Structure 1
């Protein structure tokens, strides 16, 4: 059985739980997590007999987005390295989005940046009341480029523009309104609501579910061109002056240079 460092997989007869398992970093995404998630969803899941996967974060927090220590290191990478990193990140989201079974995000605590991308890639998302959300990349001089196709497919162009271009924090009510979440519930009720969708998935033909999911992806035109364009943009911004200033300001707990004095 595959051994993991950054995720944990609990397998049942028909259902698996995929736990983002970096609690000391609020389950932030790093290259190892990217490789492990891609490997599980793209290589291990197909043909496994698993008919539903529940994605959740350890220690009561979903995902803080990209690990900013990794982002800081990437400023010194070559253009080729950054492009390869960005392609690998896109491939992780694509593997989750194309998983041949029902995927359910169980969201609590917080979901930022790439964490929202993971939610958008799941078929059903259930959030606990009080969970915080943000697509804050622009505040760091970066862009939610890699996740933009998946988030836009989930919430539509209007909400995608508002959430990405304002970089505002939003609550579970707004996440439900825009379609990022399908349900909100109490923490005590989360497992029950997740189980209801697992039960529903087990009533569906596995082959028909997988085929219909692929059809929906084709309808959304998730092609290779999107993969290349989004990777090029984020690879460029990571090493740009504003990208480096944004990350430095976050790590140094100060406002970036582009914020007007007094704000």
Structure 2
């Protein structure tokens, strides 16, 4: 995950503007967006700017990140996403409550040794019922505070979770809920029909373009490029304006691969 500092993503102004417009309007309308791009192109960095833009109080942020070892575990991703709202599932209508709580493994008794669907008596829940339960759960939560769902690496989320997210994304426009997902551009997902934004490989516009900056001396900032103590890849991206000019530099993950043109 990218560190959430006050870095600036140069060359991504249009992409940041599109995401900003989407989340700024969450109180009045919902929406969904799939951000695609090759590994290391800056998808996580772009999502991190959304977190900073929202701040701690304007909305409730729910997150989930796909993990390759869990992609065959039904509803594992949904469990991760909805865990903060698990107590609110008890207020759902009985059929939806049973379907969702079964999918999430929210049952009395000892915890299962492995993640399995069907931890209560009865058949495995239908995707439609689970999706409807999730929609109602999020709608109720968003009535108090708008919701932003941030889902990274959805190509590694299990198929059951992807199906529910696709169901949800097609129905949130009238709710104060925004869903933003990221995926590799060469990996198919169940969310491929959503509005999308593809990140092209970033190219520095001029030699010495700074990819990500912190004010010199700020907490956690790397050594100044001018001091000669920074790693080679930081110095390679440092501003050449003067030998004493310092913003301290550190490239956002993956973007240091850009070459000067």
Question: TM-score of the superposition, structure 2-length normalised?
Answer: 0.28
Question: TM-score of the superposition, structure 1-length normalised?
Answer: 0.28
Which structure: greater helix fraction? 1
- Structure having the higher Rg: 2
- Pick 1 or 2: higher relative contact order, CA cutoff 8 A, min separation 6: 2
